[in-house]
């Protein structure tokens, strides 16, 4: 079993990873996912909403546009600042607060809706994070999640990264949050109902080389992976990612459109 100190060390490494690059460059392209999740949760005007591991605020903005009273949280302050900039530009009233998804600084049952898009799935202690989401959601409230699946494109990207830089032994892969049976294990004691839909998000870039350039520069985990590898190994990683992109590309060689499967999850709190 992975010890607490191992999980704390992993969390520190993850924080440094997500703080590197600028996730907002990638994150803003995923705004559609936040809008769809807000609709799936059937947000009511005036409801209290917590966005956990919010990144640059896609679900935050989607909820605020629907009249939610939103608190947006992340453990990387630089990402919260990107969300602040976007909220100011749209004149949306949002509270931004640094917070750890595994130790949320809010009372029990304090939110009507708790959201996370491709965020909480990366917590080292998955059971603790799920427990915290359930704890701060009121009975009858909703927990809305968007999680990459293991077999989808982004799941395969992380599998590829793991072949080149193996994670510590015993650490659960983030893509388990994209497995329905695992979600039911995590939320079995707190859920009255769990609704799951499989969706596709299309990454749209000029070419595999363009995708890799953008992710290598701005997306923390990919940025850190390339930086950690010697030149020969980095070239091999680039080749493997190129092959993956070409395999998933659903258009011709003149462009790149890569569908990536994710689970859209709505959990009704017991």
247: pLDDT strictly greater than 60: yes
SS3 of residue 37 by DSSP: helix
Based on its alpha-carbon atoms, the radius of gyration of the chain, rounded to whole angstroms, reads 18
Q: Do the beta carbons of residue 101 and residue 120 sit within 8 Å? A: yes
Q: Is residue 133 part of a domain?
A: yes
d(CA 256, CA 175): 24
What residue spans of 66-205 are helical by DSSP H?
77-90, 126-136, 153-164, 180-187
Question: Is pLDDT above 90 for 212?
Answer: yes
Asked if residue 176 is part of any domain, the answer here is yes
- What's the whole-number average pLDDT of the chain? 96
Express each pLDDT in 156-174 by its tens digit. 999 999 999 998 888 899 9
Q: Structurally, how many domains does the chain consist of?
A: 1
Q: Report yes or no on 217 lying in a domain.
A: no
Query: Domain for residue 233, yes or no?
Result: no
User: 160: domain CATH number?
Assistant: 3.40.50.150
Q: Is residue 241 part of a domain?
A: no
- pLDDT given at position 168: 85
pLDDT of residue 1: 40
Pairwise CA distance, residues 7 & 248, whole Å:
33
pLDDT score of 62: 98
Distance of alpha carbon 230 from alpha carbon 225, whole angstroms: 10
pTM given for the model: 0.95
What pLDDT score was predicted for residue 59? 98
Structural domain boundaries, residue 63: 4-202+260-269
**What's the average model confidence in pLDDT over 226-235?**
97
pLDDT of residue 2: 43
Check pLDDT > 90 for residue 63: yes
Assigned domain for 167 exists = yes
Is residue 230 assigned to a domain?
A: no
Give dist(CA 227, CA 249) in Å, integer: 26
- Model pLDDT for residues 35-44, shown as the tens digit of each residue: 999 999 999 9
Tens digits of per-residue pLDDT, 100-131?
A: 999 999 999 999 999 999 999 999 999 999 99
Q: Does residue 209 belong to any structural domain of this protein?
A: no
């Amino acid at each position: 079993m992975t010890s607490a100190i191992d999980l704390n060390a992993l969390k520190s490494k993850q924080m440094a990873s997500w703080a590197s690059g600028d996730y907002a460059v990638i994150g803003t392209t995923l705004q559609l996912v936040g809008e769809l999740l807000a609709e799936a949760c059937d947000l009511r005007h005036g409801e209290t909403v917590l966005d956990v591991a919010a990144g640059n605020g896609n679900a935050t903005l989607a909820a605020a546009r629907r009249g939610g009273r939103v608190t947006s949280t992340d453990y990387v302050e630089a990402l919260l600042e990107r969300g602040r900039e976007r909220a100011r530009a749209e004149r949306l009233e949002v509270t931004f607060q640094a917070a750890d998804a595994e130790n949320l600084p809010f009372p029990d049952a304090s939110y009507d809706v708790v959201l996370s898009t491709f965020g909480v799935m990366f917590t080292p202690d998955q059971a603790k994070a799920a427990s915290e989401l359930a704890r701060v959601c009121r009975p009858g409230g909703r927990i809305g999640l968007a999680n990459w699946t293991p077999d989808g494109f982004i799941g395969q990207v992380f599998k590829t990264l793991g072949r080149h830089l193996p994670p510590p032994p015993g650490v659960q892969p983030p893509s388990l949050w994209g497995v329905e049976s695992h979600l039911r294990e995590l939320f079995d004691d707190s859920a009255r109902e769990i609704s799951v839909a499989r969706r596709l998000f299309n990454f749209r870039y000029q070419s595999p080389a363009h995708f890799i350039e953008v992710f290598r520069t701005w997306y923390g985990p990919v940025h850190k992976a390339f930086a950690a590898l010697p030149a020969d190994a980095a070239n091999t990683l680039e080749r493997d990612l190129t092959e993956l992109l070409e395999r998933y590309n659903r258009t011709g060689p003149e462009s790149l459109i890569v569908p990536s499967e994710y689970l859209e999850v709505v959990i009704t709190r017991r």
